[in-house]
Chain A
Amino acid sequence: MIQLVQQRRVQVTFVIALLVLLTAFVISVATGQASLSLTQLGRVILGQGTAREHLLLFEFRLPRILVAMLAGMGLAISGSILQSVTRNPLADPGILGINAGAGLMVVVYVMFFTNESSSFLYILPLFALLGGILTGGLIYLFSYKRGEGVNPTKLVLVGIGLAAAISGAILTLSTSLEREEYDFFATWMAGKIWGDDWVFVLALLPWMLLFLPIVLRKANILNILNVHEHVSIGLGVHVTRERILLLFIAVALAAVCVSVSGGIAFVGLIAPHLARSLTGPRHQHFVPLAAMIGAVLLLVADTIGRVLLDPSGIPAGLIVAVIGAPYFLYLMVKK
């Protein structure tokens, strides 16, 4: 009976989240430098809009919105996994330095390989992935202690330190960039969604389609890993192997998203917390919800950024940080 009630609640929450996402989507489509009214929007979708409206919607606004949503989803899922696997409620790919690691490889790529080639967009996520995984490995190594496993607090602390070091390395490298490349890079670091073309959607989508089903299939294992290590072993989970696989997925998702969306922290922190407080700790329920909340968050942040400052926009990463950092502090104080 209780389970039935809960099932019901989860379903209602999902429907509401979907509605919110849809609303955010419509608002984001409609607002911007040149606004599209709802009637205009309807006409364009039905194929009766003017060429200009068509261009605005399909070539400029829609891809950017999709990229923001996909990146928000990826970061939120990544944060959910990180929080459960490390049993640390403050884990987030941005805070842990994974974004910075991905950023380092992005700057290396921009420096040494020309960005003229058409394969640029598909190779960039791979480079970011490499950087993210190297950083993740280092953090794991530094915070792992034989017999105790990963110390959750130390993990965050090591991450903060590594993030600072890598940012230093990035700054050092980026000063030798050409002026244009540097400008690109500076806004990337601040978390500006720069991928606003269909190619970026295509660069992100396969990764999401690859990892999302795996994460959902592993939901039960995540439920178990979230409790104490000894309990997980007692329940027959191959702890080390599953943990490394899941961490790999988390890091990969974050790195790939970050390569397109820029260094955005705190989405991976907030979304899982909100989702968990709405649906409870079962990963089958809260991970998909966290993904939706992440998409809404980043979409709203990007839209606010676009509206606040025309035409270049305030990077979504900054807006997310202004919302996210106080939340982080709140969680820290409450704990």
Chain B
Amino acid sequence: MTMTKTNQTTEIKSFSRPAVGAISLSVGILALMASIVLAVSAGAADIQFLHVWRSIFSYDAAREADQIIVGIRLPRELGAAFVGAAFAVSGAIMQGMTRNPLADPSLLGLNAGAVLALACVYAFLPDAAYVTMVLISFLGAGIGAGLVFGLGAMSRGGMSPLRLTLAGAAVSALLVALGQGIALYFNLAQNLAFWTAGGVSGTTWPQLSVVIPVVALGVIAAFWLSRSLTILSFGEEVAVGLGQRTFAIKTILMIIVLILAGTAVSLVGSIAFIGLLVPHMVRFFVGTDYRWIIPCSAIFGSVLMVLADTVARLINPPFETPTGAIFAMLGVPFFLYFARKGGGKMK
């Protein structure tokens, strides 16, 4: 068993393309700005690009367009951008840490845990401040992740990607059922349907004042640890051999994942597959060095989320299609591909 593992790890080579990384990063930032402007201007009330600029930099409360932009659309798109970054980075960290190509906060029970926690908040502390909700949402994400990893580690034969995914599906089913039960019992079904379906509508500035700093700090912390993450992604033995204190690093990384996923879920509900999709796409371009994967995942996660949210608003106006639904359909081909490949080892 150890023999095959060491063989496997020596086969894996890190390849990094700094030039491509730098280009992707700058293209990504431009794309993000463009997509936010596009998203803010598109919608039920049509607003021209130029107005967007004007109302952000010289806000005039008398103009109706300014009110729509600054009061409704801008917080919404900023929320989408930060949530997208949070999901994508937490997916990237989980994939690197567990060396599991199928890792994603929603597949491994984090989102379901956070949803259950939010249902409890709605039922028992209806007047809770948003910060309390975010904290409890971390706690829920932590419980979900703890259950999945604990059961995955307990099963005979160890923690294979397949087994973790199975445990994730069952734990999620359990936690979501409990959450829905609580919601129905306390007559909150409509609130919770919103959380489970996922969407950024109704994001407010006060919420953003919590989400933006937390997500930004989380992404920066992840970037700061990205070198250690790259080493960890070669395998535990290699990391220990190179003198890494793997336990400490893993613990800190897991806390970052919980904070990012918990915050994101508390704002938009459970959005699956974005954390799976983005890191794989990014890895395809910039290689396996997490110093590039983390920032690029953050940027492209934001772009994708903003675009998906815009599509969700435009598919069927004035109704909104849940963003989570769009990601589920986008993400599944990827999932099937990796599942079919065997999901064994991670490139």
Binds A, one of B63-71, B126-134, B332-340: B332-340
Instruction: Check if A332 sits within 8 Å of B329, measured CB to CB.
Output: no
Instruction: Check if B174 sits within 8 Å of A332, measured CB to CB.
Output: no
Residues of B near A172 (CB, < 8 A) are 315, 321-322, 325-326, 329
Contact among A162, A308, A318, A329 with B170 in the assembled complex (CB-CB below 8 Å): A329
Complex: chain B residue closest to A170, CB-CB: B325
CB distance from A27 to the nearest CB of B (A): 21
Residue from A143, A170, A171, A317 having most chain B Cβ neighbours under 10 A = A171
Residues of A near B185 (CB, < 8 A) are 308-309, 314
Complex: chain B residue closest to A182, CB-CB: B193
What string of 1s and 0s marks CB contacts (under 8 Å) between B158-180 and chain A?
A: 00001101110111011011101
Residues of B near A161 (CB, < 8 A) are 332, 335-336, 339
Instruction: Check if A164 sits within 8 Å of B339, measured CB to CB.
Output: no
CB distance from A312 to the nearest CB of B (A): 8
CB distance from B97 to the nearest CB of A (A): 20
Contact among A90, A321, A324 with B166 in the assembled complex (CB-CB below 8 Å): A90
Instruction: Check if B336 sits within 8 Å of A169, measured CB to CB.
Output: no
Instruction: Check if B181 sits within 8 Å of A332, measured CB to CB.
Output: no
What string of 1s and 0s marks CB contacts (under 8 Å) between A174-186 and chain B?
A: 0110000000001
**Whole-angstrom CA separation of A164 from B112 in the bound complex:** 14
Q: Is B184 an interface residue (CB 8 A)?
A: yes
Q: Is A227 an interface residue (CB 8 A)?
A: no
Q: In terms of DSSP, what is the predominant structure of the interface of chain B? A: helix
CB distance from B303 to the nearest CB of A (A): 20
Residue from B162, B329, B332 having most chain A Cβ neighbours under 10 A = B332
Instruction: Check if A175 sits within 8 Å of B321, measured CB to CB.
Output: yes
Residues of A near B342 (CB, < 8 A) are 154
CB distance from A79 to the nearest CB of B (A): 15
CB distance from A88 to the nearest CB of B (A): 11
Contact A162 to B336, CB < 8 A, known contacts A95-B169, A168-B327, A329-B151:
yes
Residue from B155, B319, B336 having most chain A Cβ neighbours under 10 A = B336
Instruction: Check if A175 sits within 8 Å of B319, measured CB to CB.
Output: yes
Q: In terms of DSSP, what is the predominant structure of the interface of chain A? A: helix
CB distance from B172 to the nearest CB of A (A): 9
**Whole-angstrom CA separation of A162 from B169 in the bound complex:** 12
**Whole-angstrom CA separation of A333 from B159 in the bound complex:** 10
**Whole-angstrom CA separation of A98 from B178 in the bound complex:** 22
Residues of A near B163 (CB, < 8 A) are 332
Instruction: Check if A321 sits within 8 Å of B174, measured CB to CB.
Output: yes
Residues of A near B321 (CB, < 8 A) are 171-172, 175
Instruction: Check if A142 sits within 8 Å of B273, measured CB to CB.
Output: no
Residues of A near B326 (CB, < 8 A) are 168, 172
What string of 1s and 0s marks CB contacts (under 8 Å) between A292-335 and chain B?
A: 00000000000000001100101101110110111011001111
Residues of B near A335 (CB, < 8 A) are 155-156
Interface size of B by Cβ–Cβ distance < 8 Å?
46
Instruction: Check if A326 sits within 8 Å of B165, measured CB to CB.
Output: no
**Whole-angstrom CA separation of A158 from B189 in the bound complex:** 30
Instruction: Check if B193 sits within 8 Å of A186, measured CB to CB.
Output: yes
Contact among A308, A315, A329 with B167 in the assembled complex (CB-CB below 8 Å): A329
Instruction: Check if A165 sits within 8 Å of B319, measured CB to CB.
Output: no
Instruction: Check if A165 sits within 8 Å of B151, measured CB to CB.
Output: no
What string of 1s and 0s marks CB contacts (under 8 Å) between B267-284 and chain A?
A: 000001100000000000
Complex: chain B residue closest to A156, CB-CB: B166
Contact A322 to B322, CB < 8 A, known contacts A157-B162, A160-B169, A332-B167:
no
Complex: chain B residue closest to A145, CB-CB: B340
Residue from A170, A324, A328, A334 having most chain B Cβ neighbours under 10 A = A328
Residues of A near B171 (CB, < 8 A) are 325, 329
Residue from A165, A168, A314 having most chain B Cβ neighbours under 10 A = A168
CB distance from B3 to the nearest CB of A (A): 23
**Whole-angstrom CA separation of A320 from B333 in the bound complex:** 30
Q: Is B343 an interface residue (CB 8 A)?
A: yes
Complex: chain A residue closest to B334, CB-CB: A161
**Whole-angstrom CA separation of A317 from B177 in the bound complex:** 8
Q: Is A190 an interface residue (CB 8 A)?
A: yes
Contact A157 to B339, CB < 8 A, known contacts A164-B272, A164-B328:
yes
Residues of B near A318 (CB, < 8 A) are 177, 180-181, 184
Q: Is A167 an interface residue (CB 8 A)?
A: yes
Residues of B near A270 (CB, < 8 A) are none
Q: Using a CB-CB cutoff of 8 Å, which residues 21-77 of chain A contact chain B?
A: none
Contact A190 to B165, CB < 8 A, known contacts A161-B335, A335-B156:
no
Contact among B151, B155, B173, B322 with A321 in the assembled complex (CB-CB below 8 Å): B173
Contact A165 to B332, CB < 8 A, known contacts A175-B316, A186-B193:
yes
**Whole-angstrom CA separation of A308 from B184 in the bound complex:** 10
**Whole-angstrom CA separation of A300 from B328 in the bound complex:** 33
CB distance from A11 to the nearest CB of B (A): 35
Contact among B155, B166, B180, B272 with A190 in the assembled complex (CB-CB below 8 Å): B180
Instruction: Check if B184 sits within 8 Å of A309, measured CB to CB.
Output: yes
Complex: chain A residue closest to B175, CB-CB: A325
Q: Using a CB-CB cutoff of 8 Å, which residues 81-109 of chain B contact chain A?
A: none
Instruction: Check if A322 sits within 8 Å of B178, measured CB to CB.
Output: yes
Residues of B near A333 (CB, < 8 A) are 151, 154-156
Q: Closest 6 A-B residue pairs measured CB to CB?
A: A168-B328, A165-B332, A325-B174, A321-B177, A171-B325, A161-B335
Extra pairs beyond A158-B339, A329-B167 (4, CB < 8 Å): A154-B339, A186-B193, A309-B185, A332-B163
Interface set of A (CB-CB < 8 Å, partner B): 90, 95, 142-143, 153-154, 156-158, 160-162, 164-165, 167-172, 175-176, 186, 190, 265-266, 308-309, 312, 314-315, 317-319, 321-322, 324-326, 328-329, 332-335
Interface set of B (CB-CB < 8 Å, partner A): 151, 154-156, 162-163, 165-167, 169-171, 173-174, 176-178, 180-181, 184-185, 189, 193, 197, 272-273, 315-316, 319-322, 324-329, 331-332, 335-336, 339-340, 342-343
7 of the cross-chain contacts (CB-CB < 8 Å) are A142-B340, A157-B162, A321-B176, A324-B173, A332-B155, A333-B154, A333-B155
